[in-house]
Structure 1
């Protein structure tokens, strides 16, 4: 398996492949399932931890998006913090989506909908987007991904993206502002990571 295969794994993990992990999310200790072939299968990665620690509480209701959900730490946190919201967990990796569904069911988080990008209805607008975006897919693919989803912020909505400083967070901030025509601020900086916030007024 190459370093980027976790973005595109087609098959759900077998029972033998799945493993259990205990993580702290939204002030709770949760047992979750992960598996090889998804991003950061062995632990909660540092970038996502920074995002979850630094971003203010999500809207209590509306449609919330976890873009590039992996096994689901962001989606699970959103659903725990905003149980009345509908949380869209979006990924191209079928194995990741299966794990998110399993983890949501395990903790009775009925507000999570784990789907591929094309399964999100075109008319859905997001009150918030939280993402640890897949920087390593390359600049062109990353830009295409962000230009597909960030314009779908609802009026008054905010997107929070966590990006490593050494992976181009500052240049991405400038590019986003130019490409979207929206204000993009660095709202947090911790442990080598930036949180970039896009706001639609």
Structure 2
């Protein structure tokens, strides 16, 4: 795979689907993955921690997964909230393709796997779940989060999983300082060397 990264827009390696089993929504699911994306061979530890430490998502509305990879977070959201619309965004075209394939395998028609620029600007999200792409670098990560998190609707919230040794504590502090004053950012859980950060947008009164 040479210089490819999971944030490569168009992986040059040939697409070769590989079977993968992951427990989503409490059930083992038969899915597919491929090289050229994040954690292609298994459900990564950070995402496991996130899924184990978030409450049920809203039943309706627009839900967002930032950096969807082969789709475990988006699929989990869609399984839990079949009446909601789940936006699975990634810059990696292969990740989007795999998320679409896996949604079809599970019979889910409420996932929209698209590039970030293809999400309509007027959409506001009731929740955001993400294992954000920390390794894109701090500046790009900050730009990414500031693009999406302010698009939470009133009383909406975001759940982000970040490895402690990759800066979860400093990211929590930065988010509290940089997000609008209507946000409160806290630490919701700690497990396996990861932190789950929770950002809630309070309703304007």
Do they superpose with TM above 0.5?
yes
Q: Report how many residues are paired.
A: 200
Q: Does 1:142 align with 2:133?
A: no
* TM-fit CA distance, 1:6: 1.5
Which residue is 1:49 aligned to?
A: 48
Cα deviation, residue 193, structure 1: 0.3
Match for residue 173 of structure 2? 174
Mark the CA change 1:166 to 1:2 in structure 2 (over 3 Å): closer, same or farther.
farther
Q: CA deviation at 1:106?
A: 0.8
Alignment of 1:185-200 (within 5 A): 185-200=186-201
Structure 1 range deviating more: 22-31 or 6-15: 6-15
Q: For 1:121, what is the secondary structure of its paired residue? A: coil
In 1, Cα distance between the equivalents of 2:145 and 2:36? 23
Displacement of 1:154 in angstroms is 0.7
CA 155–3 in structure 1, closer or farther in 2 if over 3 Å, else same: farther
Q: Tell me, what secondary structure is at the counterpart of 1:44?
A: coil
Say if 1:85 and 1:34 are closer, same or farther in 2 by CA, change over 3 A.
Answer: same
SS state of the match for residue 6, structure 2? Answer: helix
- Return the alpha-carbon distance in structure 1 between the equivalents of residues 159 and 112 of structure 2: 20
Q: Is the 8 A contact 2:4 2:36 kept in 1?
A: no
Encode CA deviations 1:14-68: one digit per residue, 9 max, x unaligned: 56x1101011001111111100001000000000000000111100110000000
Distance in 2 of aligned mates of 1:140 and 1:62: 30
**TM-score (normalizing by structure 1):** 0.96
| Alpha-carbon distance in 2 for matches of 1:37, 1:187 | 31
Is 1:127 matched with 2:120?
no
Matched position secondary structure for 2:58 = coil
Q: Distance in 2 between matches of 1:32 and 1:154?
A: 32
Q: Is the 8 A contact 2:11 2:36 kept in 1?
A: no
Tell me the secondary structure at the aligned position of residue 114 of structure 1: strand
1:114–1:26 Cα change, 3 Å: same
1:8, distance to aligned residue in structure 2 (A)? 1.3
Give the Å deviation of 1:5: 1.3
Q: Deviations over 1:82-118 (max 9, x none)?
A: 1100000000000000000000011110000000000
Unaligned runs of 5+ in 2: none
